[in-house]
Amino acid sequence: MSKLYRFITENALMSMLIVLWLMSLVTAITLKVFFDPPDIPAGTVAAYGTVFGGVTIAVGVWKWRREQK
């Protein structure tokens, strides 16, 4: 796991791809949740919160990576 973390933090392109992927995932899930809202089960709410947490972590790692150089 530490090799993966080091690879992601040392490669700016990989960090950017992860941030873009997570942001597109948040957009897709937001569109799904808000354009089909009759019944939103608890599992969907939990997954939605998890995805937002992933974006926060990815942006934090990306900002930390930029400050290292």
Instruction: Name the residue among 54, 68, 63 with its Cα closest to residue 24.
Output: 54
Beta strands in 1-69 (DSSP E): none
Whether 46 contacts 56, CB under 8 Å: no
Structural domain spans, the chain: 2-68
pLDDT in tens, the chain (69 residues): 678 777 777 777 777 787 788 788 888 877 877 787 667 778 877 877 787 787 777 778 778 777 776
